[in-house]
Chain A
Amino acid sequence: MIEALQFEFFRNALWAGLLVSVACGIVGTLVVLRRIVFLSGGIAHAAYGGIGLGFYLGIDPLLGAVGFSLISALAMGLVELRARQRADTVIGVLWALGMATGIVLIDVTPGYKPDLMSYLFGSILAVPPSYLWLMLALNAVILLFVVLFFKELVASSFDEGYALTRGVPVQAMHLAMVALIALAVVMMMRVVGLIMVIALLTMPAAIAVDWVKDVKMAMVAAGSLSALFVIIGLALSFHLNLTSGATIILVAGTGYLVSLGALRLRGRVRSAQSESPAP
C-alpha cells in the first residue's frame, strides 16, 4: 500500500476516507442512538433521485444530490414527526420513489453517463480534489451543529418526552438531524456508493456504542473504526483488484461480526464469574 501512496489518486482516496470517517463517527453514532437507521437508509437511496436530476438538468449531479437528499430527508423527518405509526411505510415509499425518479430521469437524459455507477457503488479512487473540499466543508457544518447542540441532541435521543418538558425544541432537533444525515450521505456516496452508505454509517457506530459508554467517546471510536475500515478496505481492494466500496463494507461487516462475537463472549465470561462461588 505504501507504494500506492505515490499516486495522487490514492492519496486523495485516503483523504476522502479520513474525511468521511469524521461524518460517520458523529452522524452514525446519533443515527444508532436515535434508532433511525431505516430513515437513514431511505435518505441514502432517495438521493439517487438527485443524481438523476443533476444529469437531466445538466448540472453537477453532486449538487442535485445535495438538494434532493436534503428535501427528501426533511420530508421523511416530517412524516416521522407527524405520523409516527405510518412512518416506516411512508419512508419505504419515498425510498423507492427517489430511486425510481433517478432511474427514469437518467433514462430520458440523452448521452453517455460515465459517472453513473460511481454514485451507486462508489469510486473512492476517482475522487477529485474539489470533492475533498466539499467534504471538508460538510464536515465543518456537521461538527459545528453537533458542538452547539450536543446536550439537546443527547437528551432528546435518550428521552424525547422529558427533553420536551425542559423546553428542548425536539422537533427542530429531529429535522436538523435528518438534514445532517443527508449531508453525510452526500459525502459518503463517492466512497462506498449510495447503496452501501447505510452500512458504513451505522456499523462503526453500532460497534462503538456497544463498547464505549460515553457519547462523545463513542463518536471518536466510531470515527476511528470507520477510518480503520476504509484504510484496510482500500489496501485490500488495491492489492486484490476488487471494487473499493464493496471491499470497505465487507471489512466493516467483518468488524461488526467480530464485535458481536466478542460481546457474547464477554457476556458468558461475566455470567460465569458471577455464578462461580466466592473463594
Chain B
Amino acid sequence: MTTRSTQGPPDGPAAPRQDVQPDIAVGLDHVSAAYDQTVVLEDVSLEIVPGEFVALVGPNGGGKTTLLKVIVGLIEPLHGSVRVRGHAISEERHNIAYVPQDIRFDRDFPVTAWEVARMGRLGRRGLLRRYTAQDGEIVDEAMEKVNVHHLRNRPIGSLSGGERQRVYIARALASQPRVLLLDEPLANIDPEARELIEGLMVSLAHQMTIVMSTHDIGALLPRIDTIGYLNRQLAYYGEPGCAPAAIRESYRCPAEVAAEGLPCPDPRRAHLHEVQP
C-alpha cells in the first residue's frame, strides 16, 4: 500500500502503454565509463522495455548524465555494450532522442526557437539534403505538443529556462523518436514551467520509452515504472515502491555522498519518504 503526496499526478492513474513490443528498447550489458582516468560508471546492466518510463536518481557525480550520454552514443563505454532496440546506437540514432540539461550557449546566437526545434530533423534529413516543408510541419506539430509554438519566432536566447527546456523537448520530438532521454528536465525552472513539463512527460509516457535523470521525481512518481538509483554503480533498479528501502540501504555509504541528490531531501516533496514498502 502506498501513500502519495497531495501533489499528485496531473491526470489520474497511469494508463496502459500503447506501443509495448516484446523486444528491448535499451539494453546495457556490464557497462563502465570513465572521464580520463576517473571511472564514473561501473558495471551497469539494465534492460528497458518499450514503453517503460524510467527515472534515474542519485547524487551529483553519480553518473546519471554519463549513463544517458552512453546510451545516446556521446560517450564510448570503457567496457560492456549498449544496444538500442537490439542494434548498435549508430544504426538506431534516428529512433533515439536526447534532451540535454540546459546547455551553455551564446545568448546572442542568431537562431529562433523554431530553428532550434528544426535541428531535431537533422538525422532524418541527412547530409547534403535541405530541410523540406514536411520537416517544417513536423516541427510545428512538435512545438504545439509542448506548447511553445507561440514562441516560434523568438530568438532562443530571449527565452526563459523553462521555455528553452520545452524547445529542447520539441527538438527531440521533431526527430520522431521511439526512445526519449531527458537529463534533469525539471532542474532550474520555475514551478509553473515544472508543472507544464511534468504534464507533458506524462502524456509522452504513453507514446514512447522515456529515460529521465532527476534530482526530484515529484509529481511524476505515480507514472514511473522503474527507478534506478545510480551512484557510480546501479545500487537499485526496480519498482518505485521498493526504492526507498533500497536507497536507505545505500545510505551506508558516507553521508555526504548520499545526502546530496536523493530523490526527496525536501519535506515538501517527500513523496518517496511517504512510501511505505
| Interface set of A (CB-CB < 8 Å, partner B) | 33, 35, 148-149, 151-152, 154-155, 157-159, 161-169, 209-210, 212-215, 217-218
Contacts known (A162-B98, A162-B100, A167-B123); A213 close to B155, Cβ less than 8 A:
yes
Q: Is the CB of B105 within 8 A of A158?
A: yes
Q: Is the CB of A159 within 8 A of B93?
A: no
Q: Smallest distance from the beta carbon of A102 to chain B beta carbons, Å?
A: 34
CA gap between A210 and B123 in the complex, in Å: 30
Q: Is the CB of B100 within 8 A of A151?
A: no
**Could you list 7 examples of A-B contacts with CB < 8 Å?**
A149-B127, A158-B119, A162-B100, A166-B119, A167-B126, A209-B109, A212-B110
- B111 interface residue per 8 A CB criterion: yes
Q: Is the CB of B171 within 8 A of A162?
A: yes
CA gap between A162 and B72 in the complex, in Å: 10
Q: Is the CB of A151 within 8 A of B131?
A: yes
Contacts known (A155-B119, A158-B116, A159-B103); A165 close to B109, Cβ less than 8 A:
no
Q: Which of B74, B125, B127 contacts A165 (CB 8 A)?
A: B74
Q: Is the CB of A158 within 8 A of B111?
A: yes
- B130 interface residue per 8 A CB criterion: yes
Q: Is the CB of A166 within 8 A of B155?
A: no
- B245 interface residue per 8 A CB criterion: no
Q: Is the CB of A154 within 8 A of B111?
A: yes
CA gap between A26 and B214 in the complex, in Å: 41
Chain A residues in 8 Å Cβ range of B116: 158
Q: Smallest distance from the beta carbon of A139 to chain B beta carbons, Å?
A: 21
Q: Is the CB of B110 within 8 A of A152?
A: no
Q: Smallest distance from the beta carbon of B126 to chain A beta carbons, Å?
A: 8
Interface centre among A155, A159, A165 (most CB of B within 10 A): A165
Chain B, 147-158, contact with A by CB distance < 8 Å: what is the 0/1 string?
A: 000000001000
Q: Is the CB of B122 within 8 A of A167?
A: yes
Interface centre among B74, B110, B112, B120 (most CB of A within 10 A): B110
Q: Is the CB of A161 within 8 A of B103?
A: yes
